[in-house]
Amino acid sequence: MAIDRSELHDLLDERSRPAADRPIPWESLRRRTGRARHRRLTAAVASAAALVVVVVVGVSGGLLGLGEPDRDDPTVASVADPIPARYVEPDGTVYRRIATATLDAQRQKSVSFDVEVGDRPLAILASCPTGATSETPNFFVRVPGVAKLFTTSPIPGMMSTCDDNRAMDVMPLPEGTRRATFTVETPRRGTARERPQRWRFGVYEWTPPATLKAAPTPVEPPAKFSRQPEFRLVTKKTVTWPAAREVEVTVPYTGRQLALMAYCGGGIAGRLDREDRVNGRPTKTAVICESPPDGRGFGYAVLGTRTLPAKGPVTIQVRVKARIPEYLRRPGTLTVAVYEAAE
């Protein structure tokens, strides 16, 4: 069959026409030119400094590696780009974008797109409109021939990707999956006018570093919190993931309320399942190992009296587990702190 040149032209014209609907990203362009200007100035200063350094090296007989000149390397994520093509988390895990999509909540109820997937774990990162943290889109993945819907892990929802600008894991897809359909639906609550407008999504596959890095320094739990009653720290313990996956502490119970705070640090924060036990009984309150306390607050659970003895020692176990095996190659910490009410 011969290709009709006119038809080919029409096809190319038709497929590229939506460009007319896409606004010029002035902000991004300005950032890029600003950075280029800054690099030029830095390079000029560095050139002047290099003259001095070369003299020093000549005297000592050493070898100086000045490095390659700065280039516009597209594989390096722009810090300002909310959906970068590639970025590296502090623990050395590399996130590489494999697909993107946009959801205009004013005009679309949902957007679906097919993604070719490999064996690496997947994650989704959202560029959220302002004020979007309480109204986030529904997200799920369909795998051909599989009835089950897959969503984010360890909990469904995209709230934390908006809160923390971190990629959320996608539940592991069945082994051998090579293609999956990703769907993002407009938040259901609120009127169309109230809903956040434009969302962008990036689907990523991630690879932990070949060599496990050292775990970051754990964040210290607060010495006290709340006022009525005030909870004061009784004991705390931190272990390093993945060598240890459980913390057990024992505290005396005097009849005053006890509160438990547990969190994970590093790349595993907010990404592992968590299970708490009090004197061997599961509390069923914990779901994920949350991020460490920060300026925005922290979570804790007051232990119910039904799980506690009349008086005596109370043993608390906090266990974390990963649904995605690659987390065994990502360092982190698990901290458990127990508090007692002052009154």
Partner 1 sequence: MADRSEYDAFVAAAWQRLLRTAYLLTRDWAAAEDLVQTALLKAWVAWPRIGDEREAYVRKIIFNVHVSWWRRRWRQAEVTSGSPPDRTQATDHMGQADERELVWQALGRLPARQRAVVVLRFFEDMTEVQAAETLGCSVGTIKSQTSKALAKLRVDDSFAASFAKGR
**Rounded distance between C-alpha atoms, residue 177 and residue 196, angstroms:** 33
Residue 234 and residue 258: Cα distance in Å, rounded?
Answer: 9
- Cβ count near 266 (within 10 Å): 24
User: Does residue 213 contact residue 331 with C-beta atoms inside 8 Å?
Assistant: yes
Both tokens assigned to 232: 């004061």
Compute the least distance from the CB of residue 48 to partner 1, in Å: 20
Span near partner 1 by CB under 8 A; candidates 99-107, 148-156, 158-166, 325-333: 99-107
Q: Looking at beta carbons only, is 3 or 63 nearer to partner 1?
A: 3
The partner residues of 204 in beta bridges, in order of sequence, read 97, 123
Distances (CA, A) of 16 to 12, 21, 27: 6, 11, 23
Contact code string over 203-242 relative to partner 1, x by CB under 8 A = ----------------------------------------
Distance CA 254, CA 312 (A): 7
Nearer to partner 1, 122 or 269 (CB): 122
297 interacts with partner 1 by CB under 8 A: no
User: Which CB atom, from 22 or from 193, has the smaller least distance to partner 1?
Assistant: 22
- Please pick, from the candidates 46, 85, 233, 301, the single residue that binds partner 1 as defined by CB under 8 A: 85
| Minimum distance from residue 100 beta carbon to partner 1 (Å) | 4
The CA radius of gyration of the chain, in Å to the nearest whole number, is 26
How many chain residues interact with partner 1 (CB under 8 A)? 48
Identify the DSSP state of 78. P
Contact call for residue 120 and partner 1 (CB under 8 A): no
Side chain identity at residue 258, one-letter code: L
Q: How far is the CB of 156 from partner 1 (least distance, A)?
A: 21
Binding site for partner 1 (CB under 8 A): 1-3, 5, 7-9, 11-13, 15-22, 24-25, 28-29, 32-33, 36-37, 72, 74-75, 83, 85-86, 96-102, 108, 111, 113-116, 182, 200, 202
